[in-house]
Chains A and B, each alone.
Chain A
Amino acid sequence: MPRGAKMKSYDVIVIGAGHNGLTNAAFLAKAGLDVLVVEKNPHIGGAAVSRNLHKDWMYSNCSYVCSLFRPEIYRQLNLAKHGLQVITYNGGFTLTQDGDYIGSYNDPEIMRREIYRHSPVDVDAYDRFKTDISKWCRFIRPMLLRTPPDPTSFKFRDLDELRFLARKFLDLGPRDLHDFMKFFTISVADYLDQYFTSDLIKAHKAGSGIIGTGLGPMSPGSAYVMLHHYMGDVDGSVGAWGFARGGMGAVSNALAGALQEHGGEIRTNAGVEQITVKNGTVTGVVLDSGEEISAKRVVSNLDAKRTFLGLMDPKDAGEKVVKAAKNFKIRGSSGKLNIALNGIPEFPALPKGSDLIQGDFHIIDSLERMERAYDDWKAGRWSKDPYVDALMPSLTDPTMAPEGKHFLSVFVQYCPPKVEGKDWTDDQVQAFGDTVINQLAKYSPNLKDLIEHVEIRTPREIESEVGLTEGNIFQGELTLDQLLFNRPFPGYAQYRGPVQGMYMCGSATHPGGGVMAAPGANAAREILMDLKLGNTVPEDEGDD
């Protein structure tokens, strides 16, 4: 029983106000539960934040674009009413070392011409590629808002879910199953080899296979990571990406709005020290301040390592879970630079006045360069010739920077959690930032002159600020051994923890990372099921 007797007791406490924690809490509150979200930072949002870190600039300083967010959740929680507006962006390009570029265009005819300019034989392949990708996105999307079955269980529900999956795969037929297995298991390089001959076109497409991942484009499994980045949509356009107006914090703010609308509470500056357990049942949490708050249920939005190794007594978690949590793979592989610019940088390779600059641009023109960047990471160094996914949301969303000025978000692959096994030093963080800026400046001569402020984030900064162990942006690597019923580990993929009343709702659970909100929603559905309350969480609505 709680020692602070006067303290209010909640139905549910959610630890961490990341987008999944907020989603989870909002659905629970909507079902009538008394919910409290506790957040260690002074601001909410986790990795989906907009932060005013320099003058009048607004930085989406972690996640920076939106696509994976499940439209069913957007509708169900009425996020439009709470101010979330996602704007599709167009364009995007990859710059080549010999001063050329390849652009991305929405207009299929222009896109065909662009492919033709670089590799006439790849024009038809491009159409085939797009068709196939859409097919696999549509195949996998209905699985996102479902709880993975336990393949060893004989419960009706698990058997039924296994039957659902088996049916889905059998419906594919032998050839499509082969294609799916390829997409699910091979490297993005091998996958693209089936379509394209031009190394530039492959490099232009392969970035999605490595972003956030401790795999190279030539590592088996990276094709799935590409699919993971394609399966979202903006306004019903599958695979499209957009900006949340006002930065990624707008997603979190809208979710918080939905939560509060249904009577949920949020407390910031309230880090959790421990999840308390009595007689195998959760009793609440103890905050950093020593304050105890009691609750019948506790949901952790933190990753599996932080949850089980950090917040739980090993005796409560149990030997098996502690071992599984230790073995959970969560190596960070990405860094980020957030840059305030005094104007639009020039890219001499692009035609004057080109719209392509409104999209994301990349500075790696071959798979070999990308893979070598990965070799650096494997050896514990940041890439000397890094891959970047850079963009200026302020060109589309004027609320991000003062008039005429711009916010440049530079996502960098690869950046190790430790440098050759040792913690990052400040000098190394600076050197990493310089490497990236120099890389960009090779293609944009006036970039350095326009820079007003730079925030450099390595996995060290991401871990200490956002709380993601080793700075892994997906809360756990997206490899076969950590997907579906293996996420975060076997036996615990149905959002329930090892003690009664304890749950997980972060990206460390199915279907994984990205600002998708599916793990939070799925966890809420499981909790409501345990409470025998009506479901407020959307299942797959077959919106395709």
Chain B
Amino acid sequence: MTKAYDIIIAGGGHNGLVCAAYLAKAGKKVLVLEKNDIVGGAAITKEVFPGKSVSLCAQFLHQFNTRIADDLKLSEFGLEFIDTDCRTSLLSNDGRHLTVSFDGQVEGDVAEDEVKAFQILITRLQEFSETLGFLADIPPIDIFDPDMQDKLSALKLGWKLRFGLGAEKMSDFLRIVGMNIYDLINEELEDDRLKALLSVDSVLGTHAGPRSPGTILTYLYRQIGGGKGRTLVPKGGMGAVSKAIAASAQAKGADILTGMHVREVLIDNCRVVGLRTSCGTVYNAPIVVSNADPKTTVFDMVGSRHFEADFVHRINTIRMRGNSCKLHLSLNSIPEFSGLGSEALAGRVVIADSADYVENSFNPAKYNEWSSSPVIEFSIPTLNDPHLAENGHVLSATIQYAPYSLKGGWTDEAKEAFKNICIDTLSRFAPSLKDSIEQSLLLTPVDLENEIGMQGGNWHHGEFTLDQMLMMRPVPLASRYALPLDGLFLCGAGAHPGGGVMGSAGRNAANAILRGDKS
């Protein structure tokens, strides 16, 4: 005897949970099915080594949506932050490291003029992000068949660009929005390290180098949200965010079941009627919301035969190339990074000392090869958040570029070899690191696909580019969360506005469902 649900959400990633919470809040009977043992998708804290739990995948909150946090009262459900202004340190080969805060305060030997130019540049970009930020909280504006809300939003956008920014800044925005970050930083800055930092922030999680057009857009996207460019670190790792959202949803009556892999969406007479899990259990509901990426949703969960050919072709050609590996190192002591204090190690540390370094690191990814000098973003979260580990520490790193479709495949030998490259790169700055490593775990894009389900190991469920955003995300005529099959919705990062631990896609999807939207 199964309970009757109004809505079932396939996948308990943070967006699925946000969607569930909003729907439950509106009085709907909601069930969330998550294939893994814990909810959160890519935003989870996991025991990666015995007695040591850290954020498995996503590690920093860049686009924290304060509106969702308030609506869902996340702080009441246990969300706390270890750091609300996490600084970034950049390791330079010549030992001239820098530490930079979100508002452009720079610690390290950088000329005063240069710091000023840097601050002007990031303020300029931040202003664009703030101007556009409201677009993330509403469904993509439908310019072809606008309703009143669309017309108002379009007017608001036009107003913000023309009068909020003013003619001069609007022109500037229209010039740089399609540009690459490399050219912009070379227009404004001299210091290689500051250029490297902005390059890394523009390309993390993408299939792009700083010289690829479109990388200013990815930078602007990363800065949206209530944090205004701040980087936040949740106490208890990224899983704490998901847990708080889940608790909020449950408190409103949503049911969440883990260990339930959705095998297929059930369809009767051209509409969704429920779904079946891999253990054969059937759950019925008139609405199914997929938190999976669009390709997995269409091809694996529903089946392409239920859609028209043009839609299937467009879904099939969504570009979602993952290039990021995750490396966790179990350490018995804190390694000494020469010239960097332990306070910095608890924050965000980046290895890349020039924009060209980042670009050169991207080059091999184009040919499905890994970088032999990768870009690394890491932290030792256990320093600030000692509850994460019973003893010792964990170094968690995001490594780029390591392409999903590696030539020859991600065999055990390949993983071992790449892991050594990553450890060697880190050791250049911390010679004692190797001695303190007890265990290590490398998650390639293929592993991330297997563990978390996102195809291609792409964090964003689809690359964030001009042709894959707004009313074209994931594909035209399906961008407002309702897919072209009655009762089927999408609520993950593959929908507008896209990836990042933000929850906006989940919230927008919930609103679309409550409004009774159809594709």
Contact = CB atoms under 8 A, between A and B. Distances in A.
Interface of A: 151-152, 170, 173-175, 177-178, 181-182, 184-186, 190, 193-194, 215-216, 218-221, 327, 329, 368, 371-372, 375, 378, 479-481, 485-486, 489-491
A181 B178 contact: no
Given A152-B167, A178-B314, A490 B172 contact: yes
A196 to B, nearest CB: 12
Interface of B: 143-144, 162, 167, 170-172, 174-179, 183, 187, 208, 211-214, 310, 314, 317, 319, 359, 363, 366-367, 465-467, 471-472, 475-477
Nearest to A324: B175
B214 A220 contact: yes
B175 A186 contact: no
A219 B476 CA distance: 24
Given A185-B178, A329-B183, A175 B167 contact: no
B321 to A, nearest CB: 10
B476 A190 contact: no
Contacts of A490: 171-172, 174-175
Given A174-B144, A327-B187, A185 B476 contact: no
A151 B477 CA distance: 27
A185 B310 contact: no
A152 B170 contact: yes
Contacts of B175: 481, 486, 489-490
B178 A182 contact: no
A373 to B, nearest CB: 12
A220 B170 contact: no
Contacts of B179: 479-481
Given A151-B171, A219-B213, 18 more contacts: A152-B162, A152-B167, A175-B310, A177-B472, A178-B475, A178-B476, A185-B178, A185-B466, A186-B465, A190-B319, A194-B317, A220-B465, A221-B178, A221-B213, A375-B363, A479-B178, A486-B175, A490-B171
A480 B476 CA distance: 22
A480 B178 contact: yes
13 contacts: A151-B170, A151-B174, A170-B143, A174-B476, A178-B314, A178-B476, A181-B466, A181-B472, A219-B212, A220-B213, A329-B183, A372-B367, A485-B174
B359 to A, nearest CB: 7
Contacts of A491: 171
Nearest to B367: A368
Contacts of B471: 174
Contact of A378 (B178, B187, B211): B211
B467 A186 contact: yes
Nearest to B211: A378
A178 B467 contact: yes
B167 to A, nearest CB: 4
Residue among A174, A194, A218, A479 facing the most chain B CB atoms (10 A cut-off): A174
A296 to B, nearest CB: 29
A486 B174 contact: yes
A374 to B, nearest CB: 9
Contacts of B178: 185, 221, 479-481
Nearest to A477: B183
Nearest to A171: B144
A119 to B, nearest CB: 18
Given A190-B319, A221-B213, A479-B179, A182 B174 contact: no
Nearest to B321: A190
B477 A175 contact: yes
Contacts of B359: 378
A489 B179 CA distance: 13
B366 A218 contact: yes
A226 to B, nearest CB: 15
Contacts of B170: 151-152
B191 to A, nearest CB: 18
A185 B319 CA distance: 13
List 5 A-B pairs, minimum CB-CB distance, nearest first: A480-B178, A490-B171, A174-B476, A152-B167, A181-B467
Nearest to B162: A152
Nearest to A150: B171
B187 A481 contact: no
Nearest to A490: B171
A485 B174 CA distance: 9
B174 to A, nearest CB: 6
Contacts of A480: 177-179, 213
A184 B212 CA distance: 14
A7 B213 CA distance: 50
Nearest to B313: A194
Nearest to B167: A152
Contacts of A218: 366
A270 B310 CA distance: 59
A215 B472 CA distance: 25
B125 to A, nearest CB: 15
A219 B211 contact: yes
A486 to B, nearest CB: 5
Nearest to B479: A174
Contact of A175 (B174, B187, B317, B476): B476
Contact of A371 (B143, B319, B367, B472): B367
Nearest to B319: A190
Given A152-B162, A481-B179, A220 B174 contact: no
B214 A170 contact: no
A182 B214 CA distance: 13
B475 A185 contact: no
A215 B180 CA distance: 11
Nearest to A187: B212
Contact of B472 (A178, A221, A378, A489): A178
A177 B476 contact: yes
A333 to B, nearest CB: 13
A505 B245 CA distance: 59
Nearest to B158: A151
B305 to A, nearest CB: 21
Contacts of A182: 467
Contacts of A479: 178-179, 213
Nearest to B144: A174
A46 B149 CA distance: 54
Contacts of A174: 144, 471, 476-477
A176 to B, nearest CB: 9
